Homo-oligomer: A and B are copies of this chain.
Amino acid sequence: MDGSPDDTTRDRLRKVAEELFARQGYDATSVDSIARAAGVNKAMIYYYFGSKQQLAHDIFAQMQEEMAQRSAVPGGTMRDKIAAEIDFLDTRKSLLSFLLMESLKAEDQANILLDIAARLIRTDLAARGFDLPAETGQAGAGIATRVLVHEFFTGVVPIALFIALEAKFCDHFGIPRDEARAAFLDAVERSHFASHIAPDEA
């Protein structure tokens, strides 16, 4: 019910599941391995969550709730805001990787990634004087579509993938973490933020 990261078996299971799902993907992670990593028997997963699917749903639901409760951080420069956002998302890295992987499957119906992103964007835009219409369907065409596409693909997507791929990226190209992060902030500042669509634009 509450979101406290207790050391109860239930919370430990959720936590290690999140990590293993992020590392290996949902399907490659066995219920047994999750239980073992949590130091309990796999029967506990069925006791607490009912099924492997439900465990995953539970993890996503927790993320959605967590995101919904995060309000836009007021004050500071654009760069400070985005740096703070990255720092926060970094603590939720496993969750994010898992979400991205699952959202890329063409099969799934409900797309939680788009759901969460839409909420984030709407909150952010509201702070900037915008009002993105409609809940899910009908972006209202014209301006709304352009803003939504812009915010999602040049804002949310680069940030999400930076979090998810930073380690691999730095390893692969032999770049120190802090340097990559500074370069990324520069890049987002120069590209995405510099091109924010103003409310008065057609």
Contacts and interface: CB of A to CB of B under 8 A. Distances in A.
Interface in A91-149: 97, 100-101, 103-107, 111, 114-115, 118, 134, 136-139, 141, 145-146, 148-149
Nearest to A179: B145
This protein's copies in its complex: 2
Main secondary structure, interface of A, reads: helix
A107 B25 CA distance: 9
Interface stretch (A8-16, A42-50, A70-78, A160-168): A160-168
A79 interface: no
Nearest to A169: B114
B161 A153 contact: yes
A61 interface: no
Contacts of A26: 25, 27-28
Interface of A: 22-28, 97, 100-101, 103-107, 111, 114-115, 118, 134, 136-139, 141, 145-146, 148-150, 152-154, 157-158, 161-162, 164-165, 167-169, 172-175, 179-180, 183-184, 186-188, 190-192, 194-195, 197
